[in-house]
Structure 1
């Protein structure tokens, strides 16, 4: 049950971010649900590998390279999900930040 609620929270965060940030388009709610699933899978399996591989450059940039990894994950999700598009690096960066903040705020009510 908790997994379904987390999925709904992520979907709501994606819809909020897509409506706030110019340059990010999500066609409909079904696309947002699929995008939430894809982002969850990518963040679970691909992101830790990328963070380990990019550890030296992350240390050199004092942790700012984690944002670049997050943007890469969003662009990869854009490639995988039809109906989701991001127009550039800055909209993808802002999309990741807004989704994280909104999911975090809504997730606080889950615990």
Structure 2
């Protein structure tokens, strides 16, 4: 991944964070700089924590014959989303785990929509 695509992904994530923070789902981000920081922290967590969690999920995936692979991937996304909220001051999950679940889903949907609209 080159620096340009990394910056585009960061900005799209930041815009997605901004959009979902305006929805009534319990994801609250105080300021625009906190939104940019939250997007960067989530990106770092996705690149560092996600591979470790994916390794831990290999055994349950194997035992269930990959039937729940998508569910495990989503749970890992929720964990990273919650960790980002825990690490960034000014990024809160009002309803706890439920905000993390809905926020991770909303972030995925909004990011996907933006990627599909932009010619990236």
- Fold shared, TM-score > 0.5 on shorter chain: yes
CA drift at 1:2: 3.5
Between the two proteins, the alignment pairs up a number of residues equal to 111
The reply on whether 1:31 has 2:34 as its aligned counterpart is yes
After superposition, the C-alpha distances for 1:43-74 in whole angstroms (9 at most, x for unaligned) are 11210110111222345361212222211111
Contact 1:21 1:91 in 2 (8 A): no
Q: Could you tell me whether the CA contact under 8 Å between 1:21 and 1:95 is conserved in 2?
A: no
Partner residue in 2 for 1:79: 86
In the TM superposition, what are the counterparts of 1:1-111 in structure 2 within 5 Å?
1-59=4-62, 60=64, 62-63=68-69, 64-86=71-93, 87-108=95-116, 109-111=118-120
- SS of the equivalent of 1:100 reads helix
Question: Cα RMSD (Å) of the superposition?
Answer: 1.7
Contact conserved, 2:25 with 2:102, CA < 8 A, in 1? no
Larger radius of gyration between Structure 1 and Structure 2:
2
SS in structure 2 of the partner of residue 8 of structure 1? helix
Runs of 5+ consecutive residues of structure 1 not aligned to the other structure: none
